[in-house]
């Protein structure tokens, strides 16, 4: 385990090959119940190159009109999300150091060539809880910086089975996936990469409700009609 920055803990090869295979099998079941969807950027409607689904009581979604948000149902099927697999709940209990379980597990599916631009994860009301990341399949070049978009960045390679805990002073840091390394996926077909992130959305003493009034997307509060 390596502390890359305050609160940013890197656990290379946390999952063994059999552990990774078990996770992929459970993700296949989740995708059967909750098919991958293509999120769109708020306002512009531009498609993400990453496809997504979720498991847990809440899931992260994004579309042109509703913006980034958590909701209890799949945006296409309208069904509740499937449950978070036991292995991931166990992981959270072992390493998250937070008193309540995760509410959302976002499943990111990167086909060859997909990437994720620099962003920070701040749609969760409970930012005292860390985000836990599990990488499966193709390796990627991951970039992370500071609390401001223009802060200097560092890059690391994330491999299949690696876990990253993003907490403490790093919880709201900018980060993104610059590219996948072709030919590195032996766990899944077609050079794909899967990333799982476990998230606590709601403070343990609250109930889930509409997002707090500090929007993470500039312009999110400018949708009210001009009278
Ligand atoms: C944050 N996913 O879904 S997660 C996301 O690999 C997302 O799919 C990425 O960002 C993915 O919101 C990365 C893990 C991660 C790793 C290192 C970080 C997040 C980090 C370092 C600093 C800040
Ligand atoms: Fe993120």
Q: Longest C-alpha distance within the chain, in Å? A: 60
- Nearest residue to 138 (alpha-carbon basis) of 182, 108, 106: 182
Q: Residue 179: nearest ligand to its CA?
A: 1
Tokens of residue 43, six digits:
């306002």
Nearest CA to ligand 1 atom 10: 176
Per-residue confidence (pLDDT) for residue 216, from 0 to 100: 52
Per-residue confidence (pLDDT) for residue 119, from 0 to 100: 97
Cα–ligand 2 centroid distance for 68 (angstroms): 12
Give every residue of the chain whose pLDDT is below 70, as ranges: 212-227
Nearest CA to ligand 1 atom 22: 144
- Residue 164 in contact with ligand 1 by CB distance below 6 A: yes
Per-residue confidence (pLDDT) for residue 217, from 0 to 100: 53
Cα–ligand 2 centroid distance for 120 (angstroms): 6
Instruction: Count Cβ atoms within 10 A of the Cβ of residue 78 and give its class: 0-12 exposed, 13-18 middle, 19 or more buried.
Output: exposed
Per-residue confidence (pLDDT) for residue 212, from 0 to 100: 65
Length of the chain: 227
Residue pair 197/132 in contact by the 8 Å Cβ criterion = yes
- pTM of the model as a whole: 0.93
Q: Which of 140, 166, 169 to mutate to test the pocket of ligand 1 (most atoms within 8 A of CB)?
A: 166
Domain parsing of the chain, residue ranges: 2-206
- Nearest residue to 68 (alpha-carbon basis) of 89, 43, 93: 43
Per-residue confidence (pLDDT) for residue 204, from 0 to 100: 97
Helices (H), the chain: 17-33, 86-95
- Superfamily of 2-206 according to CATH: Alpha-ketoglutarate-dependent dioxygenase AlkB-like (2.60.120.590)
Question: pLDDT (tens digit, 9 = 90+) per residue, 133-173?
Answer: 999 999 999 999 999 999 999 999 999 999 999 999 999 99
Cα–ligand 2 centroid distance for 227 (angstroms): 37
- Residue 197 in contact with ligand 1 by CB distance below 6 A: yes
- Residue 175 in contact with ligand 1 by CB distance below 6 A: yes
Cα–ligand 2 centroid distance for 62 (angstroms): 13
Cα–ligand 1 centroid distance for 175 (angstroms): 6
Residue 96 φ then ψ, to 5°: -80, -25
Per-residue confidence (pLDDT) for residue 223, from 0 to 100: 32
Per-residue confidence (pLDDT) for residue 192, from 0 to 100: 98
């Amino acid at each position: 385990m390596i502390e890359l920055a305050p609160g940013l803990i890197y656990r290379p090869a946390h999952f063994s090959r059999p552990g990774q295979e078990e996770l992929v099998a459970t993700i296949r079941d989740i995708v059967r119940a909750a098919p991958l969807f293509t999120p769109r950027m708020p306002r512009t409607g531009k498609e993400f190159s990453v496809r997504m689904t979720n498991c847990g009581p809440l899931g992260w979604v994004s579309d042109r009109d509703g913006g980034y948000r958590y909701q209890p149902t799949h945006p296409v099927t309208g069904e509740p999300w499937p449950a978070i697999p036991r292995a991931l709940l166990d992981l959270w209990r072992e390493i998250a150091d937070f008193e309540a379980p995760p509410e959302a597990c976002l499943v990111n599916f990167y086909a060859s060539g997909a990437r994720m631009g620099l962003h920070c994860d701040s749609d969760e009301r409970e930012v005292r809880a860390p985000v836990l990341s599990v990488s499966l399949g193709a390796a990627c070049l991951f970039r992370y910086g500071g609390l401001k978009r223009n802060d200097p960045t560092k890059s690391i390679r994330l491999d299949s089975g690696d876990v990253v805990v993003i907490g403490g002073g790093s919880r709201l840091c900018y980060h993104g996936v610059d590219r996948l390394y072709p030919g590195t996926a032996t766990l899944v077909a077609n050079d794909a990469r899967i990333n799982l992130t476990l998230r606590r959305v709601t403070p343990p003493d609250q109930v889930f409700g509409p997002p707090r009034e500090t929007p993470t997307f500039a312009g999110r509060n400018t949708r009210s009609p001009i009278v």
